[in-house]
Amino acid sequence: MKNRISSAVFIALCLASVSLSLRGQTSSAPAQIPLPPPENRKDPSVTEIVDRANKALRGDTSHGRLTMTVVTPSWTRKLDIEGWNKGRKMAYIVIHSPPKEKGTVTLRRGDQMWMWMPHVERLLKVPPTMMHSSWQGSDFTYEDLVKADSIVVDYTHRLIEKKNGEEFDLYKIESVPRPEAPVVWGKILFWARVYADGQVAAEREEDYNERGDLMRVVSLSEFEVFDGRRIPTRLECVAPKKPGRKTTLKYHDLRFDVELADSFFSVGRMQK
């Protein structure tokens, strides 16, 4: 397989994959909605669960603020990030702090990506050779931003286990690459919550290489309800082979269904 990254949650989930408006609102714990008896429940297809969980933090369009914290054995770094997202192909990410990175912009349009570095006034088109590099020193790569929906289109899925609960059912799903799919993971294990009202939220992802070694774990937690939507507001990524290292994302301000024209995601806008 070609060496290309696929992640169900980066971030689909991650930097520009944001959703509701938390500013000025009071959060509440997820409502305790009793599920119907197992014999009366209609299970969505496994592929549908993966697709809906992958889209849950992104929506059709979105805008939000989050803090990314990168911890290593020798240093810790925090970035204040603002991101806009449209569909699965466009993302615009601005770093507001720390001062050294302030004003740095990452733009994604389709499978292409650019970076604007204001301190050196340089616009860089991210080449294929750089796509597997760490994004801003984190445990995520540039490729993760581009391939946000890869787990949906490049993998086939089967149910491994289902646990019925009072508030939600928990599905454990195994995803394996389609023949000749341009991905690096040899297998992905994916846990998703399916609530009684049909909402789906990712809870955990484990990424394995072709030899079956566990390479990366993404845990989603601190689920909250905003405008009737359940979302995880904290994501943590660790690489078992890199002890003492982790990347955490904490969402603060999130909005769904904002008006965004395609022209918003332009190279010219990056330098303004």
Q: Which residue has the higher pLDDT, 247 or 8?
A: 247
CA nearest neighbour of 13 among 148, 109, 125: 148
Are residues 92 and 145 in contact, defined by beta-carbon separation less than 8 angstroms?
no
Torsion sign over Cα 151, 156, 158, 160: negative
Alpha helices, DSSP H only, in the chain? 46-56, 142-146, 150-153, 267-270
In the chain the first and final C-alpha atoms are separated, in Å, by: 40
Residue 37, pLDDT > 60, answer: no
| CA–CA gap between residue 193 and residue 53 (Å, rounded) | 8
Which secondary-structure segment (H or E) carries 152? helix 150-153
Residue 208, pLDDT > 50, answer: yes
DSSP 214: E
- What's the alpha-carbon Rg for the chain, to the nearest Å? 18
| CA–CA gap between residue 223 and residue 59 (Å, rounded) | 17
Among the residue ranges 49-63, 158-172, 202-216, 242-256, the one predicted with the least confidence is: 49-63
Q: Determine the average pLDDT of the residues in 168-194.
A: 94
Q: Which residue has the higher pLDDT, 25 or 76?
A: 76
DSSP letters for 45-64: PHHHHHHHHHHHTT-SEEEE
Q: What is the share, in percent, of the chain residues with pLDDT greater than 90? A: 59
CA nearest neighbour of 258 among 11, 1, 23: 23
pLDDT value, residue 227: 56
Under CATH, domain 38-270 is a member of which superfamily?
Lipoprotein localisation LolA/LolB/LppX (2.50.20.10)
- Per-residue pLDDT tens for 64-75? 899 999 999 999
Q: Determine the average pLDDT of the residues in 70-88.
A: 94
| CA–CA gap between residue 165 and residue 153 (Å, rounded) | 29
| CA–CA gap between residue 129 and residue 240 (Å, rounded) | 25
pLDDT value, residue 212: 96
- Per-residue pLDDT tens for 91-150? 999 999 999 999 999 999 988 999 999 999 999 999 988 988 899 999 988 877 766 678
The predicted model scores a pTM of 0.81
pLDDT value, residue 231: 84
Residues found in the chain: 272
Q: Which residue has the tokens 């769904």?
A: 256
Which tokens go with 162?
């289902």
